Structure 1
Amino acid sequence: MRALTLAYVLIVCGTLLNAEVRRSGSGEAATRTSFLNSAVQRSEPELLTKPAELAGRFSRRLDEVASSVDGSVAYLVVDVTSGQRFARRADEPFPTASAIKIGILYELFVQVDAGREVLDDPKPLPEASRAGGSGIINRLRSPVLSLRDHALLMILLSDNTSTNVLIDTLGMDAINAHMQALGTSGYRLRRRMMDSAAAARGDENVASASDLVTVMDAIRTGRGLRPESQAEAIRILREYGPTSVRAGIPADVPVATKPGGLDGVRSEVSWVDVKGRPYLLCVMTSFLADDQAGEKAITEISRTSYQYFSRLSRAGVEGRLLAR
């Protein structure tokens, strides 16, 4: 279609130029013909570079937001459709805070699928698993919950006690080994939740933005999971309430996400299922002078990413934006 359009333009313009030749002489006409040919030759590359220009602006805006934060910032945004990556320090380990829990969720369903654990077998809460901080289970006297219930509470309320139940049940070494087999290079679950002594020793839970995106993508695609386990893991990750990533995205867009926060640390890994142009996003921060500034940066990176991918999802031929 584009070739036919260009041919038509050349025919029309050629006719006009021939008329001009008769009026002004061959020298001036030759100059005009040369100009026309150069303009046509430029138009095709310009059309092809429009998406690249858009991606360049998007990349620069991500860096502007990250550079404005008084602290360390890493991010990774992956276009699921094209595979294009927009990254800043994406392979460096950062403290994860509760974002580490996405790997625990994945390992739970791996072990359930292998028959090593039962998802819906209610058990009394082991006293050794109790932990303070976020969550509600530690406030209950004698809860009896299944592993599915603990998984939901671990993600929905970032419940530290439920997280410890799952770590103790699945095994820290098994979780880390499976993360390595999945392809992560820096994912390290080194301590149970609220183990301040381990944190003081330097045994912090860490991962890179690339690591957390790898785990989220395994859940998104169902890698290593039965379909029913994949569906349940996605359902749980979509249950989470308001987060920094969700604050930058319209409420009707499905988002599977896990945020985390500690003093000086904010992180979040997400799969944003924009119709026709889904993407994966992870932002990690540390050494924050202002924790709220870290949260605002995650929201702005999320908003910028949504605007970019939602525009791509609507783009037709040569960038016309179509109604969804």
Structure 2
Amino acid sequence: MEQMLPQLLQKSPYKMHMIVKDLSTDEIIISERYDDVFSSASLIKVPILLAVLHHVQTNRVALHQVLTISPKDWVDFSGISEQQLQAASIYELLVWMIITSDNTATNVLIDFMGMNMLNRYFREIGLTHTILQRKMMDFERLANGVDNVTTARDMTHIFTHMYHQDLLMPSYSALAIDILSRQRVHESLRRYLIDDVTIAHKTGGLETVDHDVGIVYSDAKDYLIGVFITEVTNNQDARQLIGRISKVVYEYLIQQKGALK
């Protein structure tokens, strides 16, 4: 890994941000541009997931409480929109928001919580540069330079606390990990892994960014990996690069375990 990973990072035509962290020791194994602020794309849905679960926990709201969905809320590339659903439970919306990155579900939850409340929660849990400033698919605001942003440090903070289950009650912490583990988008971190490993993760992509970050529960050790790529000109290439990096890290950690036997 000491040789292959620097080569992959240096040869990349894009701007690379990265973190690998041993979750059993909290040791940061690799970090690259750890504090740079970048467009979050759909990574913003992870702190939204936590904020909604915190709201449900604190206010004793039923996860199966049904929220109304107006046809004007439907956006393209959404399972909610495809089904023309006009109502769904909070639980259903959370699941769709994460496992297929459903933007209609996300926007309904943003309206349910309120953007100010969400950003206040982000600050309360220690996210210093994660800000929600526009709804999903609001390309007009994006064109005007208004975007949702985060950092590798903030994503590390979120997933570390989820792993240690110290942001929410154990049942809600377990639910958050369960939903992230049911992710259906596997074009990046899992792309080249042949082992049947559990990864609780979230992807994020726009024309110029591709990200994937999460917890890998491996036989060697549980670790956090996040690869965040900006200034992208070819999304397919960027996702392949994330896959290659993920495979190098995974195989290195597996080999390390074997060497210790």
- TM > 0.5: yes
- Tell me what 2:63 maps to: 119
- What aligned pairs does 1:1-324 form with structure 2 within 5 A after superposition? 58-85=1-28, 86-115=30-59, 117-132=61-76, 134-241=77-184, 242-316=186-260, 322=261
- Distance of 1:103 and 1:172 partners within structure 2: 12
Residues 60/83 of structure 1: CA separation in 2 closer, same or farther (3 Å cut): farther
1:280-318: per-residue Cα shift (whole Å, max 9, x none)?
Answer: 0111111112222211111011101101222233342xx
1:26-64: per-residue Cα shift (whole Å, max 9, x none)?
Answer: xxxxxxxxxxxxxxxxxxxxxxxxxxxxxxxx3443222
1:55-84: per-residue Cα shift (whole Å, max 9, x none)?
Answer: xxx344322212222121110111123333
Q: Which residue identity lines up with residue 242 of structure 2 in the other structure? A: I
Q: Which residue identity lines up with residue 109 of structure 1 in the other structure? A: L
Higher RCO structure (Cα 8 Å, ≥6 apart): 2
Residues 92/116 of structure 1: CA separation in 2 closer, same or farther (3 Å cut): farther
Bigger mean CA offset, 111-120 vs 73-82? 111-120
Residue 131 (structure 1) shift = 2.2
- Distance of 2:114 and 2:5 partners within structure 1: 37
- Distance of 2:79 and 2:173 partners within structure 1: 26
Q: Does the CA-based 8 Å contact 2:188-2:243 persist in structure 1?
A: yes
Segments of structure 2 that go 5 or more residues without pairing to the other structure are none
- Distance of 1:154 and 1:227 partners within structure 2: 21
- Distance of 1:313 and 1:144 partners within structure 2: 49
Residues 71/147 of structure 1: CA separation in 2 closer, same or farther (3 Å cut): same
- Distance of 2:60 and 2:114 partners within structure 1: 12
Residue 152 (structure 1) shift = 0.5
Bigger mean CA offset, 251-260 vs 79-88? 79-88
Residues 142/182 of structure 1: CA separation in 2 closer, same or farther (3 Å cut): closer
Q: Does the CA-based 8 Å contact 2:141-2:147 persist in structure 1?
A: yes
Segments of structure 1 that go 5 or more residues without pairing to the other structure are 1-57, 317-321
Q: Which residue identity lines up with residue 238 of structure 1 in the other structure? A: S
Residues 60/203 of structure 1: CA separation in 2 closer, same or farther (3 Å cut): farther
Residue 186 (structure 1) shift = 1.2
- Distance of 1:176 and 1:196 partners within structure 2: 20
Determine which structure has more spread, i.e. the larger CA radius of gyration: 1
Structure showing the higher strand proportion among its residues: 2
Residue 215 (structure 1) shift = 1.1
Q: Does the CA-based 8 Å contact 1:71-1:286 persist in structure 2?
A: yes
Output the TM-score relative to the length of structure 1: 0.76
Q: Does the CA-based 8 Å contact 1:70-1:290 persist in structure 2?
A: no
Q: Which residue identity lines up with residue 209 of structure 2 in the other structure? A: V
Output the TM-score relative to the length of structure 2: 0.93
User: What SS is found at the alignment partner of 1:114?
Assistant: helix
Structure showing the higher helix proportion among its residues: 1
Residue 184 (structure 1) shift = 2.0
User: What SS is found at the alignment partner of 1:248?
Assistant: coil
Q: Does the CA-based 8 Å contact 2:39-2:147 persist in structure 1?
A: yes
User: What SS is found at the alignment partner of 2:202?
Assistant: strand
Residues 227/286 of structure 1: CA separation in 2 closer, same or farther (3 Å cut): same
Bigger mean CA offset, 170-179 vs 190-199? 170-179
Residues 308/202 of structure 1: CA separation in 2 closer, same or farther (3 Å cut): same
Identity of aligned residues (%): 28
Residues 312/175 of structure 1: CA separation in 2 closer, same or farther (3 Å cut): farther
User: What SS is found at the alignment partner of 2:210?
Assistant: strand
- Distance of 2:234 and 2:84 partners within structure 1: 36
- Distance of 2:182 and 2:60 partners within structure 1: 26
Residue 251 (structure 1) shift = 4.1
